[in-house]
A = this chain, B = another copy of it.
Amino acid sequence: MVQAKTWTLKRHFDGFPKASDFEMKLEQLAEPRSGEVLLEALFLSVDPYMRPYSRVRMKEGDVMIGGQVAKVVQSRNPSFPAGSVVVANCGWRTHAVSDGAALTPLAAGWPQEVPLSFALGAVGMPGLTALYGLEEVCQLKAGETVLVNAAAGAVGSVVGQIAKIKGCRVVGCAGSDRKVAYLRELGFDEAFNYKTVTSLEEALKKASPEGYDCYFENVGGPFSSAAMPLMKPFGRIAVCGSISLYNDTTPQTGPYIHTHMIFKQLRMEGFLCSRWARKDQEALQKLLAWVKEGKLKCHEHVTLGFENMPAAFMGMLRGENTGKAIVKV
């Protein structure tokens, strides 16, 4: 009999999450029955979406939602043999018994030299989100100028690199000079620290005086108010996240955007990467190929120890990570 450690949502977050909002609980797992497998977590993901989802998808006492890379340690399901590695959407837990429904095998042909944890980053949900946001939502064309914020994060850093692969000019914004240096390393054409510029509007104008064709939105709030007037006619805004708003206790307000939307005929679309799930396998192969070719880099910010998951999550929400925030069990 295996005992799983889990992190539960003790009480719904009110404003920025606090350590006392989480509670670790032990769970006795039954032996896997026919069709089931026993999983052991290797790497767990902490992602911004968990903050808003906690309110709509979880009740107090539930195990925190999230993905992990896990090893199958016992198998009664031939699709997932013992010893194989899977991506499991089974929440913040060290062990799980699964009937396979929330499991995905590692992308076919995963090479030894690519870290398994990349399946939670550039070759996983964040990578797919970046790819679908650019291809499906923005319908990005070579030669266009792309703006991305939270650009040193798990999604933003992939957005910028894919846009470069596709022959675009990329402007990225991040919240520290170290992150900005990282963006330059990744090949962004322009990058700046939005926290130290005197005027965000001026910095955005300077970075692309002719404006922006595509705007990959990870931040929302006042950043979006500064960027919206700088969109080119027929510009596209892919709304992936709004991390600057997730911890609001009273909603932030900003100028209405209608006039820009109308006279520049802008298109703004919110999206979740699950919409294109039927394309995931093909898309993961594309991402994996770029990683192997060295065109797509994935820096990881690794926190050690399952017990530090809340700290890793809160640190990620504060922007402490450069690249993908990961917890190694």
- Contact call A56/B263, Cβ cutoff below 8 A: yes
Q: Tell me if A262 is interfacial: C-beta within 8 Å of chain B.
A: yes
Q: Considering only CB atoms and an 8 Å cut-off, how many residues of chain A contact the other chain?
A: 34
- Contact call B270/A265, Cβ cutoff below 8 A: yes
Interface pick from A32-40, A154-162, A216-224, A282-290:
A216-224
Q: Tell me if A328 is interfacial: C-beta within 8 Å of chain B.
A: no
Known: A258-B224, A259-B245. A267 touches B265 (CB 8 A): no
Which one of B242, B256, B265 contacts A272 once the chains associate, using CB atoms below 8 Å? B265
In the bound assembly, the distance between CA atoms of A263 and B54 in angstroms comes to 13
Contact with B along A245-264 (1 / 0, CB 8 A): 11000011111101111111
Q: Give A251's nearest chain B residue, CB to CB.
A: B255
Q: Tell me if A130 is interfacial: C-beta within 8 Å of chain B.
A: no
Which one of B251, B259, B264, B271 contacts A262 once the chains associate, using CB atoms below 8 Å? B271
- Contact call B263/A52, Cβ cutoff below 8 A: yes
Q: Tell me if A269 is interfacial: C-beta within 8 Å of chain B.
A: yes
Q: Tell me if A266 is interfacial: C-beta within 8 Å of chain B.
A: yes
Query: Smallest CB–CB gap between A241 and chain B, Å?
Result: 7
Q: In the complex, what residues of B have CB within 8 A of residue A239's CB?
A: 258, 261-262
Copies in the complex: 2
Segment 175-223 of A: residues with Cβ below 8 Å from B: 217, 220-221
- Contact call A259/B275, Cβ cutoff below 8 A: no
- Contact call A261/B269, Cβ cutoff below 8 A: yes
Q: Give A53's nearest chain B residue, CB to CB.
A: B263
Q: In the complex, what residues of B have CB within 8 A of residue A265's CB?
A: 269-272, 275
Q: In the complex, what residues of B have CB within 8 A of residue A268's CB?
A: 261, 267-269
- Contact call A256/B270, Cβ cutoff below 8 A: no
Query: Smallest CB–CB gap between A103 and chain B, Å?
Result: 25
In the bound assembly, the distance between CA atoms of A224 and B56 in angstroms comes to 23
Query: Smallest CB–CB gap between A290 and chain B, Å?
Result: 26
Q: Can you list 24 contacts pairing A with B, beta carbon distance less than 8 Å?
A: A217-B258, A220-B259, A221-B258, A239-B258, A239-B262, A240-B262, A242-B258, A242-B259, A245-B256, A245-B259, A246-B259, A253-B253, A253-B254, A253-B255, A254-B256, A258-B270, A262-B271, A263-B270, A265-B275, A266-B270, A267-B267, A267-B268, A267-B269, A268-B268
Additional A-B contact list (17), CB under 8 Å, known A261-B270, A263-B270, A263-B272: A52-B263, A220-B258, A221-B256, A221-B258, A224-B258, A245-B258, A246-B259, A253-B255, A254-B254, A258-B270, A260-B270, A262-B272, A265-B269, A266-B270, A267-B267, A267-B269, A268-B268
Please report A residues at the B interface, Cβ cutoff 8 Å. Answer: 52, 56, 217, 220-221, 224, 239-242, 245-246, 251-256, 258-272, 275
